[in-house]
Amino acid sequence: MRESSEILERLVAGDRAALARAITWAESGDARFRDVLSGVNEHVGRGWRVGVTGPPGAGKSTLTNELINAHRDAGRTVGVVAVDPSSPFTGGALLGDRIRMDGRTSDEGVFIRSMATRGGHGGIARATVDAVDAMDAFGLDELLIETVGVGQAEYDVVGAADTVLVVLCPGAGDGVQALKSGILEVADVLCVNKADLTGADRLVSDLEEAVELRAHEPHEGWVTPVVSCSAGKSEGVDGVLAALASHREWLEDGRLEEHRKTRRLA
Ligand code: GDP
């Protein structure tokens, strides 16, 4: 208890090492995390949570890096949790390294953490939410949760975010496969990355059509926008940010509390 209250104090005071420790506890399901969290509850819920998911190679890490840079340029602090639910050992760490490789290592306004997920642990969604709660309590403004793949486990991980950004790219199975995997159900914003490649326009229109068809079914009243960008060329990222911002505005117009209640993990 003494240790957890010390971590709690340091966390709220902005000590990065304390944040790292709290996340390690969250990750391993250490009971001390609950003591920390119960002490910071009133600080949780201020940051904005965006889940970034999509098939491997779509450009999630590249785009995440662009989003980090844009937020930092606008003076906002950023926390990133990178998680690979399907690969119990190294995947998550590799993902985090890939984002980190692009710089910002010495930037105090960015905190990047990859979750080392345990095989069969089953609690990865919980651990991820806990890690994000810790970053939130620490005071980071923008909280990005990035997963490596697309599937039920990944949806569970990003599902507790305020906004779910699904990143796709032309080629490799294309939109049809993505649609089959139930991506539309989880996406608040659909992003076609690699707009510089052939087939991007087609994918955008396929997705728009699918969203249009689905717009007739009730889905909290939000019509998922389809945006495109070339994250690798730093092009079109403003459009992605604008779509994310409009979903945030829509939620903050009286819908946020209910939305968070619906998406909260049991
Ligand atoms: P992730 O697995 O979804 O995180 O994808 P990555 O961000 O690692 O990107 C996968 C590959 O796509 C890398 O080789 C990137 O350099 C490349 N890539 C990312 N964005 C773009 C883009 O806008 N255009 C093109 N042509 N390639 C891109």
pLDDT in tens, 68-116: 999 999 999 999 998 877 655 544 455 555 555 455 567 889 999 988 6
Q: Which of 34, 125, 30 is nearest to 83 (CA)?
A: 125
3-state secondary structure of 53: strand
User: Is pLDDT of 119 > 90?
Assistant: no
Model confidence band, residue 60 (pLDDT cutoffs 50, 70, 90): very high
User: Is pLDDT of 55 > 60?
Assistant: yes
Residue percentage of the chain with pLDDT more than 90:
55
**223 vs 183, which has greater pLDDT?**
223
Measure the CA–CA gap between 109 and 77, rounded to whole angstroms: 5
pLDDT in tens, 247-258: 999 999 999 999
Q: What is the pLDDT of residue 91?
A: 46
Q: Is 228 in the pocket of ligand 1 (CB under 6 A)?
A: no
pLDDT in tens, 2-41: 789 999 999 999 999 999 999 999 988 888 999 998 988 8
**203 vs 41, which has greater pLDDT?**
203
Q: Is 59 in the pocket of ligand 1 (CB under 6 A)?
A: yes
The rounded mean pLDDT for the chain is 85
C-alpha 159 to ligand 1 mean position (Å): 23
Q: Is 61 in the pocket of ligand 1 (CB under 6 A)?
A: yes
C-alpha 57 to ligand 1 mean position (Å): 6
Assess contact for 132 and 145: CB atoms under 8 A: yes
Q: What burial class does residue 180 get, using C-beta atoms within 10 Å of its C-beta: 0-12 exposed, 13-18 middle, 19+ buried? A: exposed
Q: Is 239 in the pocket of ligand 1 (CB under 6 A)?
A: no
For residue 164, list its beta bridge partners. Answer: 51
Measure the CA–CA gap between 16 and 86, rounded to whole angstroms: 28
Q: Is 193 in the pocket of ligand 1 (CB under 6 A)?
A: yes
C-alpha 40 to ligand 1 mean position (Å): 37
Q: Is 55 in the pocket of ligand 1 (CB under 6 A)?
A: no
Q: What is the pTM of this model?
A: 0.91
Q: Is 65 in the pocket of ligand 1 (CB under 6 A)?
A: no
Measure the CA–CA gap between 224 and 24, rounded to whole angstroms: 35
Q: How far is CA 198 from the centre of its chain?
A: 27
C-alpha 59 to ligand 1 mean position (Å): 4
Ligand 1 atom nearest residue 58's Cα: 3
